[in-house]
Amino acid sequence: MNALTAYDHGGTGAGIGVGVIDSGIDLQSAEFGDCSGGIGTGTCRIAGASIAAAGNSTIDDEGGHGTAVAFTIAGRRNDAGTHGVAFNAQLIVARADTPGSCATENASDPDSGCSFGDNAIAAGLDAARAGGARVVNISLGGDPPNSRLLQAIGNATAAGIVIVISAGNDGDKPEGVNPDPFAAGAAASAGARGLVIIAGSVGTTDQISSFSNRAGTGAATYLTAVGERVRAPDQNNAAMLWSGTSFSAPQIAGAVALLAQAFPNLTGAQIVQLLYATARDAGAAGVDPVYGRGVLDLTRAFQPVGTTSLAGSTGVVSAGINGALSGPMGDASQGPLGAVVLDSFDRAFATELARSIVRQGPARRLPALMATRQRSFSAGVRNLSVAVSLVPTRDSIRIERLGIGSRDAGVARMLAATVSGRLGSKAQFAIGASETGNTLTARLAGRDEPAFLVARDPLHSAGFDVDVTGSVAVRQSFGAWGVSLAQEQGQVLSRRDTPFAALRWDAQRSGYWRTTLGLDRSFGKLRAGLSLTRLSERDTVLGARFSGGLGAARAGSNFVDVGLRYDMGAGWSLGGSMRQGWTSARLRSGVQGGGLIRTNAFAADIGKDGIFAAGDSLGFRIAQPLRVARGGIGIALPADWDYSTMAVSAWDKGFINLAPEGREVDYELRYSWPLLGGDLSSNLFLRRNPGNYASFPSDKGGAVRLTLGF
């Protein structure tokens, strides 16, 4: 039954009463504690509520069957031989064999031996209920229960007691296609309330035992466990190998006891539902007429079932990914984030959330433009120009962001899809699709940016994966000064939590909004720009996504950007940019927490036009993309759960670190020259610590691009 997981979780059955209605128990056996002082005293695990239900003078076993069944449920665990499933459980024994019947057993007569009357079984069931049993095992069979026994079954289930009855050992006979009439009648009765389990037998390979009655008409309440060659002592303490559904039933009863002890919030109905839901499927898929619900599996029963949530909140915790970091966070490592989660049965489990926070990994930095066929168009009238770049795909045409600076844009007369124009002599506007607001304001201010493919200007991108839906910018001149305002809207692209590998990079999308207020000025040959940006993310933090269990963080960021470009004359130019950011993350899904995150980025370049021939251009840039310098998200994590109050009893402080060890620095050399009415450009680059991963080797590469006009 894969019980080791149950024991690793502390399952022993301690404090749980288990009723055993059978032929009694060996009172001299040490397997049930020291009962020399009488049952219910000292370390004896045979409860004082035990009775001789059929009129026998003692509960001491005469036939051996009862002792073996009781041992299978609760035989001691002493590191020798075998032990019972719930080895610390209390046994409420009801000896129900008709007096003298066990002494008549004859190996040649299958009808000889212990016999049991329904009224005695009913009395035993009543005694188990009165004694506080959570589960009762009845490894008996025969005719359908009489009215007295059906009433006792109804009273027991009304008290939430689970009853486990053996399916019968007539599997090799025609009637064996259905459970024994005794078990079938009990399970189908109005008083069963779904709390009567019929126990069938399998071998250790999950194959139905030849002797076991099948599920048949009782499939909905039929569960199997190993009932072949079960090692247990008889009434004389001699180890025997027992086979029969009589020995699969006590394994299921013991499993009920383990679950009742480990998870005190569970009702009898929930325990039965849990055993059915976690059983290993065998035979035909689903509930079938041979195996019914399947094979008992305690490993599955002691694992979370259904949706899990962080204790003390409604935030869902995934078994896969609970956090997906973004590019600026690189190889940020996590310390312990231990927490308590609740499954769909409100059972508490300890989990380590740090393992479920994944890193994105370095992005492929060469733009998709390098591997596609593109059509670019531009047109203009007085004070108004329109430009668009279209890329055909298999089933659509998309607007493509070029990912180049305004110098190349001057050649191509466009960048993605833009509409720009003047509003009088001092005002300008631009509307863009797939373009950032900062790119539009830079263009309106006339800042001439050289074209680098990998070492990009960090001021022109979010720093993490986004899909810009659209942007608009306006600029007003005040003499040598210019004031611009830009608004941008789009979607953050983050990794999905899905078990299907092929879909993990089908990005999950959530909205963001960015507003930028800029100030620019020319000081002779020096052009300078200063801007303040407010970025609001609906469900992400600088592109990172966290599950509801981790608070479903959202963020607001403030950035200060500075850009300079100096014309040194003779075709030489020198430029640089720097970004400093402060991000405030807030948790909004149940648990409390938040944090402040510092980010930065920079770029510096030098270039020369006309170095070898008229119209050619050479340049070199060093750049650091947006990177978290320090900070993270503090979070309150449930550390302990109290079943008596069904509430968190202790909280710990956790910290989701977002600062990487690695620091990506990009170096790029570019050269372009005019060719056939267009231009041919080449770029060589080196990325150290790509993606902000300290352990990754440097990324080296190059690109050649031919642009032709018509």
DSSP 8-class letter at 370: G
Position with higher pLDDT, 113 vs 525: 525
- When mean pLDDT is compared over 380-384, 393-397, 525-529, 547-551, the highest value belongs to 525-529
Question: Can you say whether the dihedral through the CA atoms of 211, 214, 220, 226 is positive or negative?
Answer: positive
Spatial separation of the C-alpha atoms in residues 605 and 616, rounded to whole Å: 17
- The answer to whether the beta carbons of residues 674 and 615 sit under 8 Å apart is yes
Confidence of residue 440 (pLDDT cuts 50, 70, 90): confident
Q: Note if 29 is an active site residue.
A: no
Q: Note if 22 is an active site residue.
A: yes
Q: Which residue, among 271, 258, 235, 277, has the nearest Cα to 95 in the 3D structure?
A: 235
List, in order, residues 6 or more apart from 710 with CB less than 8 Å away: none
Query: Quick one: residue 24, left, alpha or beta (phi over 0 = left, psi -120 to 50 = alpha)?
Result: left
Which helix H or strand E contains 72, and what residues bound it? helix 65-74
pTM over 0.75: yes
Q: Which residue, among 509, 596, 594, 528, has the nearest Cα to 558 in the 3D structure?
A: 596
Average pLDDT over residues 668-695: 91
Q: Note if 649 is an active site residue.
A: no
Spatial separation of the C-alpha atoms in residues 223 and 597, rounded to whole Å: 54
Query: 655-671 pLDDT, tens per residue?
Result: 999 999 999 999 999 99
Q: Which listed residue (29, 60, 65, 297) is catalytic?
A: 65
Q: Which residue, among 356, 256, 363, has the nearest Cα to 690 in the 3D structure?
A: 363
Quick check: 414 pLDDT over 50? no
Q: Which residue, among 667, 696, 685, has the nearest Cα to 366 in the 3D structure?
A: 685
Q: Which listed residue (22, 60, 457, 699) is catalytic?
A: 22
- Percent of the chain at pLDDT > 90 equals 70
Spatial separation of the C-alpha atoms in residues 434 and 51, rounded to whole Å: 82
List, in order, residues 6 or more apart from 19 with CB less than 8 Å away: 91, 92, 93, 94, 124, 125, 127, 128, 129, 131, 133, 135, 136, 137, 161
Quick check: 627 pLDDT over 80? yes
Q: Which listed residue (29, 139, 166, 246) is catalytic?
A: 246
Long-range contacts of residues 4-10, Cβ cutoff 8 Å, at least 24 apart = 4/299, 5/298, 5/299, 5/302, 5/303, 6/255, 6/258, 6/262, 6/298, 6/299, 6/301, 6/302, 9/262, 9/302, 10/262
Average pLDDT over residues 94-104: 93
Residue 395, pLDDT score: 46
Average pLDDT over residues 493-517: 77
List, in order, residues 6 or more apart from 63 with CB less than 8 Å away: 23, 24, 97, 102, 105, 113, 114, 235
Q: Is 444 helix (H, G, I), strand (E, B) or coil?
A: helix
Spatial separation of the C-alpha atoms in residues 421 and 655, rounded to whole Å: 49
Quick check: 5 pLDDT over 90? no
DSSP 8-class letter at 258: H
- The answer to whether the beta carbons of residues 596 and 628 sit under 8 Å apart is no
Query: 512-526 pLDDT, tens per residue?
Result: 999 999 999 988 899
Question: Can you say whether the dihedral through the CA atoms of 114, 117, 123, 124 is positive or negative?
Answer: positive
Domains assigned to the chain: 4-100+117-301 (3.40.50.200), 368-707 (2.40.160)
- The answer to whether the beta carbons of residues 564 and 553 sit under 8 Å apart is no
DSSP 8-class letter at 174: G
